[in-house]
């Protein structure tokens, strides 16, 4: 059973975050297979901005700040920023590629000169939809699709009680781009803008 679960985890990771796959639509109408379902006990997801993104934000007076328990680390030379958010729970069905991954923490986009700001937090990843959604300004009633995720060039590792996926490409949704542009009175953000890459470590039993 453990060997089966490990092999299934690798298969699941290969389809993780790349959006609807063959059979996903019909699978969404079926109940999860409990024998293939694992509950997430922890881990973290890190997001590293693409070259030029951090500089572009700062050049337009927009400062991205991590909100606890998320953390931020500036890369060498200040050309990138890596944000890390703890995984707080969720589940994955290794047979149907369905699942939901919950995080805490977020990112506050702030223009110190004008006081304009918008915060996205408590990220939720829908595995089979390849989508990351976020609460806006700490309001649980307002959740928007923030990022699309692709594994086209990702590297996958799996162990007895974990799956690690790196090289996940992140692109901005039209909804998020519109909200950011409206908040900061800019045209900097566009749908499909590649913001960077992510790496996620998911622990389960």
CA atoms of 2 and 125, how far apart (whole Å): 25
For the chain, the distance separating the N- and C-terminal CA atoms, rounded to the nearest angstrom, is 12
Cα angle 116, 188, 84; round to 5:
70
Each residue of 78-119: pLDDT tens digit?
789 999 999 999 998 766 767 899 999 999 999 999 999 999
Instruction: Print the domain residue range for 8.
Output: 2-204
Cα atoms found within 13 Å of the Cα of residue 88, Cβ hemisphere only:
10
Average confidence (pLDDT) over 9-13: 49
Is pLDDT larger for residue 199 or for residue 10?
Answer: 199
Mean pLDDT of the chain: 85
Q: What is the pLDDT of residues 144-181, one digit of tens each?
A: 999 999 988 888 888 889 888 899 999 999 999 999 99
Number of folded domains in the chain? 1
């Amino acid at each position: 059973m453990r060997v089966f679960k490990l092999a299934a985890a690798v298969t699941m990771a290969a389809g993780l975050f790349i959006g609807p796959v063959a059979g996903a639509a019909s699978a969404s109408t079926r109940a999860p297979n409990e024998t293939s379902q694992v509950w997430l006990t922890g881990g973290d997801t890190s997001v590293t901005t693409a070259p030029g993104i951090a500089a572009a934000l700062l050049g337009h007076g927009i400062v991205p700040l991590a909100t606890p328990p998320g953390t931020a680390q500036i890369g060498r030379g200040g050309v990138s920023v890596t944000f890390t958010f703890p995984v707080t729970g969720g589940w994955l069905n290794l047979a149907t590629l369905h699942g939901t991954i919950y995080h805490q923490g977020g990112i506050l986009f702030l223009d110190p000169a004008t006081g304009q700001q918008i915060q996205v937090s408590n990220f939720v990843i829908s595995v089979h939809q390849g989508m990351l959604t976020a609460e806006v300004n700490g309001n649980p009633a307002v959740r928007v699709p923030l990022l699309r995720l692709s594994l086209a060039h990702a590297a996958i590792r799996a162990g007895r009680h974990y799956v690690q996926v790196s090289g996940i490409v992140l692109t901005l949704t039209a909804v998020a781009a519109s909200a950011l542009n409206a908040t900061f009175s800019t045209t900097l953000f566009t749908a499909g803008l590649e913001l960077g890459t992510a790496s996620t470590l998911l622990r389960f039993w």
